[in-house]
Structure 1
Amino acid sequence: MATKPAPPRPQPRLYLATPEVDDPAGLIGSLPDLLAAADIAAVLLRLKPTDQRTMIARAKALAPVVQNSDAALLLDGHVELVARAGADGAHLTGIAALEDALPSLKPDRIAGLGGLATRHDSMTAGELGADYVLFGEPDAKGQRPSVEAIAERLGWWAELFEPPCVGFAASREEANEFAAAGADFVLVGDFIWADPRGAAAALEDVEQAIRQAYTAAGNARAEQG
Structure 2
Amino acid sequence: MSETRTRLALLSPHRVEAGDADALSAAITAACADGDVAAVILRLAPADERSLVNLVKRLAPTAQEAGAAVVVACANFDGDLVSVSARGGADGIHLDKPREGDLRGLRERLADGRILGAGGHEQKHAAMEAGEAGVDYVMFGGLYADGMAPDPETVLDRAGWWTEIFETPCIAVAHAADQVGPLLATGAEFLGLESPLWIGQDADVATIQVQVAAAAETAP
TM-score (norm 2): 0.83
Q: 1:94 aligns with which of 85, 94, 97?
A: 97
Quick one: structure 1 residues 209 and 74, their matched pair in 2 at CA, closer, same or farther if it must change by over 3 Å? Answer: same
Name the residue aligned to 1:192: 197
Structure 1 residue 137, shift from structure 2 partner? 2.5
From 7, 13, 16, the counterpart of 2:7: 13
1:165 is aligned, of 167, 170, 175, to 170
Residue pair 1:173, 1:209 contacting (<8 A) in 2 also: no
Q: Where is the helix percentage greater, Structure 1 or Structure 2?
A: 1
**Aligned with 1:92: secondary structure?**
strand
- Corresponding position of 2:127: 122
| Residue of structure 1 equivalent to 2:151 | 146
Letter in 1 for 2:97: G
Q: Greater CA deviation, 58-67 or 16-25?
A: 16-25
Which residue of 24, 27, 31 corresponds with 1:27?
24
| One of 127, 132, 137 as aligned partner of 1:132 | 137
Query: SS in structure 1 opposite 2:12?
Result: strand
1:135-188 per-position Cα deviation (integer Å, ceiling 9, x unaligned): 123456655443222212111111111110111111122121111112111111
How many pairs align? 208
What RMSD in Å do the two structures reach over aligned CA positions? 2.3
Q: Which runs of 5+ in 2 are unaligned?
A: 75-80
1:82 corresponds to: 85
Report the more deviating stretch, 203-212 or 26-35. Answer: 26-35
Q: Secondary structure of 1:91's partner?
A: strand
Distance in 1 (CA, whole Å) between partners of 2:144 and 2:28 is 27
Matched, 1:38 2:35: yes
Match of 2:65 in 1: 68
Task: Tell me the distance in 2 between the aligned counterparts of 1:122 and 1:9.
Answer: 28
State TM-score, norm by structure 1: 0.82
Bigger Cα Rg: 1
Shift of residue 85, structure 1, vs aligned partner: 0.8
Counterpart position of 1:3: none
**Unpaired stretches in structure 1, ≥5 consecutive residues:** 1-7
What is the aligned counterpart of 1:50 among 35, 47, 50? Answer: 47
Give the structure, 1 or 2, with the largest relative contact order (CA under 8 Å, sep 6 or more). Answer: 2
Alignment match, 2:77 = none
Shift of 1:9: 8.1
State the partner residue of 1:209.
Answer: 211
Q: Which secondary structure does the structure 1 equivalent of 2:93 belong to?
A: strand
Report if aligned partners of 1:41, 1:71 keep a CA contact under 8 Å in 2. yes
Distance change (3 Å), C-alpha of 1:167 and 1:30? closer
In 1, distance between residues paired with 2:145 and 2:56? 24
Matched AA of 2:7: R
Moved more, 207-216 or 138-147: 138-147
After the TM superposition, which segments of 4 or more aligned residues of structure 1 sit over 6 Å from their partners? none
Checking the alignment, whether the CA contact within 8 Å between 1:172 and 1:209 is kept in structure 2 is: no
* Residues 11 and 144 of structure 1: CA distance in aligned 2, closer, same or farther (over 3 Å): same
